[in-house]
Amino acid sequence: MPLWLLGTIVVVGLAAIWLIMRVYGFDRPLVLTHDVAAQEFATDNPGLVPEDIHLAKSGQSALIHAGGSTYVLWVMGQDVATQNVAKARVNEAETGLTLRLPDFAAPRVTLTLTEDEKALWKPMIEGAA
Amino acid sequence: MDLSSLTYPDVVSFAVPFFVAAVIFEVTWIFVKRRGGRYETRDAMTSLAMGVGNVVVGILLGFVTYGFLMWLWRITPLDLGASVWVVALCFVLDDLRYYWVHRLGHRVRWVWASHVNHHSSQHYNLTTALRQTWTGTFTFMMLLSAPLVLLGFHPAMILFVGGLNLIYQFWIHTEAIDKMPRWFEAVMNTPSHHRVHHGRNPRYLDANYAGVFIVWDKMFGTFVPEQADDRPDYGLVHNIGTFNPLRVAFHEWVAIFRDLRQPGLTWWDRLRYALMPPGWRHDGTGGGSERLKAEYVAKHPDAAGTPGFETVRPVQARAEPAE
């Protein structure tokens, strides 16, 4: 198959798939509840049991204490990712906090938080170092 | 027989329009029926970007593997010709090669670094099939094709049947199909068998490496049937936190080199960070699949002896999670 034809099929095909997913609403993010955050955390960190969960009002992130460490859990599409925040650098952002993580596969996350949550979460994350 | 001009169609390129149409069909099916799987826009687009990257890398670096195989072809005295039966035999033996490449891809971290991206989606749909590696050339797994060339199978034929193998594996990346007929499930790799392979449940780790024929797993003791009471949870044991295709493609390579550069390691330990199974750590704190299975059985004693846990001995869980 000529390269130009293959390229055209790929570009048009991917654009069509993206458009269809948008129309079907498959870009709606997961909204966390306490139970969902607990279950997702335990699944992503075998052997750890969440002891204390601070769920953001946005439903898009949670700060979790487990096994003597502090972890951040955040929504990625319809799923989540989790990271230990011991080595995270935390900065205030307009909508919440930005964490820079020492992990090439999860380098940075911006958490959407209220002002009250910002004030509560920042020292907890900094204190986890 | 003079096979110097032997050529086969580039079947993967011809399959691309079918891939696109099948994804559109599956995503529409799921939307209409409200069952049969999950799609998420960024996840699916990342998978598709990985597939495009894989094709581009193949165009740029394909000459390395083909050049190596053609060099072997020139030195082998054997030539099996190009009859239909030889192509069929080549397909079966190449699938056996695929089984071992795939098994090494999960048990040797250097090879896992290339393959991990295929498992990095938390979804399981037809786009997951296209979430292919960009770094396969650097694993040197083309070495496992050497016996086929030395036995007299032409390199062009080997790449042709490899393409057919890849196309076969496309349709099994779906939750829309539950089970195929029993005779088919017994011999062939199916959506059910391959869902197990993509599951991160302890029961399903390091299982069902087959490409086309599931009989290889049954022969070599790695077969685990899908359990109705333990539905596969897809993704990595500890999932990545990015949709960036560059990070998806290279994150485990970066992790290997970070581990290799740790101060105070012996050269033997540095080598083992590249060659031991994923999760291995020099200080014994790692959580490979054997340990995860054993910890699960310790927590769920009833699971001992059930599929996926046939030979597992329980151990106590650690305070720190697995990598």
Calpha distance A81→A61 (Å, rounded): 10
Contact B124, B173 (CB under 8 A): yes
* Residue among A94, A91, A83 at smallest CA distance from A122: A91
**Interface probe with B: pick from A8, A31, A44, most Cβ of B within 10 Å:** A44
What pLDDT band is residue A108 in, cutting at 50, 70 and 90? Answer: very high
* Residue among B59, B175, B46 at smallest CA distance from B117: B46
pLDDT over 70 at B317, yes or no: no
pLDDT over 70 at B321, yes or no: no
Kind of pairing between the strands at A61-66 and A52-55? antiparallel
What pLDDT band is residue B217 in, cutting at 50, 70 and 90? Answer: very high
Q: How many CA within 13 A on the CB side of residue A90?
A: 20
Cβ count near B142 (within 10 Å): 18
pLDDT over 50 at B261, yes or no: yes
Contact B193, B184 (CB under 8 A): no
CB-based contact, A71 to chain B, within 8 Å: no
pLDDT (mean) for B115-123:
98
Calpha distance B32→A48 (Å, rounded): 38
Q: How far is A74 from chain B (nearest CA, A)?
A: 9
Of the listed ranges B173-187, B215-229, B303-317, the one predicted with least confidence = B303-317
pLDDT given for residue B101 in this prediction: 98
pLDDT given for residue A1 in this prediction: 81
Q: How far is A25 from chain B (nearest CA, A)?
A: 9
* Residue among B214, B30, B12 at smallest CA distance from B130: B12
Report pLDDT digits (tens) over A22-47: 999 999 999 999 999 999 999 999 98
pLDDT given for residue B86 in this prediction: 98
pLDDT given for residue B1 in this prediction: 57
pLDDT over 70 at B235, yes or no: yes
Contact A81 B255 (CB under 8 A): no
Residues in B touching A43 (Cβ below 8 Å): 200, 233
Residue reference for tokens 């070599």: B220
Contact B44 A81 (CB under 8 A): no
Report pLDDT digits (tens) over B156-198: 999 999 999 999 999 999 999 999 999 999 999 999 999 999 9
Cβ count near B170 (within 10 Å): 18
Q: Which stretch of DSSP H or E encloses residue A73?
A: strand A69-76
